[in-house]
Amino acid sequence: MASDKSCLVANSNLVRRIASKRENLLTDTHLFMKEIILLGLNALDVSRISIWMIEDGKYLKCVLNSEWYFTEVPPQPPIIEKKNHPEYFSAIFFGNSIVVNDAETDERTKSFCDDYLKPQNIKSMLDTIIFKEGFPIGVVCCEQVGESRDWSVEEVHFTEVLADCCTYRFMAREQAKLEKKLETLAFKDALTGVHNRRFFFESIDVIFNQHVREKQPLSFAMIDLDNFKSINDKFGHEAGDLVLRKFAEIVKSSLRKSDLFCRLGGEEFVIAFQGLTSDKAKEVLERISKSVHDCSIVYLNAKVNFTFSAGISQLNYNETIIASIRHADEAVYQAKKRGKDQVFICK
């Protein structure tokens, strides 16, 4: 029994197209592997296809099986230990495809005979290697039940395409994860976990234009922690970092998802209150101020108290973003001038 060559070529191209898709690279790889398995199962007309991943170089764990296609992965998936099947593992690490017409007699697979091949009535196997940076990390395993099978060159090549596409997909997913991490690092403040200055100024144009277009209120709050240098001088920079993190935590828990909260640098923060007037924004900041007063930070057995001053400006549709932010910054100065620990609205 052999698969139709033209069918294999067509499905090889389809597998490559699926593997090259950029969307959803950060989703569960099982979704992609299910597509690959289903295509392989139909194209090869084989009894079963499974994907196994190498763990610690000592065993293989089955992560997907065509028989599980419409079910969840078992809580304890099958495992193959290297110590029980050294010839099979040697073949994997050698890197060539394992083409086995008679699984019960082949040196690479006969160790499976009593425990696996005979009970499952498996006669032939075709296993191709999934690589990562030139090293085997898994196997695509095709099994023929009931009768021996002479695997054709085209079938071997098609199965190698399945394995190579798994390789590509895994590497693309890791690249996507790395890109996501770098993006997060680029736009997040490492200390507090809130968005940074770069994110604020890359996001605010869209928010600003939307509110101008819809004639909706938009208020800016510039925030400066009071006497922050004194906290660093008296308790040390680690205590100052604790204060910044605690303040960011309090603010985040007090805002809506639509509000944009960013650390501009040092002890300076900014909030864009979408859809709020300056008076409503002040109410929010006064609640935050009360939470700050109620909180307690202990560093090296010393209690560290802190407060903040804030200035608010409401969007004037005839002014620029920079002008609105400058008004809020001027309001912070007025709050400081009036004794600190207060919220001042720019009129």
Model pLDDT for residues 178-212, shown as the tens digit of each residue: 667 766 667 889 899 999 999 898 888 888 888 88
Provide the terminal-to-terminal Cα distance of the chain, rounded to the nearest Å: 85
pLDDT value for 111: 94
Place of tokens 């209150």: 273
- The CA-based angle 319-324-327, given to 5 degrees, is 125
Place of tokens 């499976």: 112
Query: What is the rounded distance in angstroms from the CA atom of residue 109 to the CA atom of residue 245?
Result: 58
**pLDDT one-digit tens code per residue, 81-114:** 999 999 999 999 998 999 999 999 999 999 999 9
Who has greater pLDDT, 317 or 228? Answer: 228
- Which band of pLDDT confidence, cut at 50, 70 and 90, is reported for residue 176? low
- Which band of pLDDT confidence, cut at 50, 70 and 90, is reported for residue 40? confident
Q: How many CA atoms lie within 13 A of 314 on its CB side?
A: 13
Query: What is the rounded distance in angstroms from the CA atom of residue 242 to the CA atom of residue 239?
Result: 5
User: Is 44 in contact with 159 (CB distance < 8 Å)?
Assistant: yes
Place of tokens 């605010």: 204
Please tell me whether residue 221 adopts helix, strand or coil conformation: strand
User: Is 305 in contact with 231 (CB distance < 8 Å)?
Assistant: no
Say if residue 229's pLDDT is above 60.
yes
- Which band of pLDDT confidence, cut at 50, 70 and 90, is reported for residue 25? very low
Residues 6+ apart with CB under 8 A from 282: 312, 343, 345
Q: How far is CA 335 from CA 95, 149, 217, in A?
A: 70, 84, 23
Query: What is the rounded distance in angstroms from the CA atom of residue 345 to the CA atom of residue 275?
Result: 16
**pLDDT one-digit tens code per residue, 279-304:** 999 999 999 999 999 998 888 888 99
Q: How far is CA 278 from CA 51, 274, 284, 343, in A?
A: 59, 11, 10, 11
Query: What is the rounded distance in angstroms from the CA atom of residue 138 to the CA atom of residue 163?
Result: 9
- Residue 267 is a catalytic residue: yes
User: Is 229 in contact with 243 (CB distance < 8 Å)?
Assistant: no
Mean pLDDT over the full length of the chain: 86
Who has greater pLDDT, 25 or 18? Answer: 18
| Pairing of β 218-225 and β 260-265 | unpaired
Query: Which of 133, 249, 267, 283 is the catalytic position?
Result: 267
User: Is 127 in contact with 156 (CB distance < 8 Å)?
Assistant: no
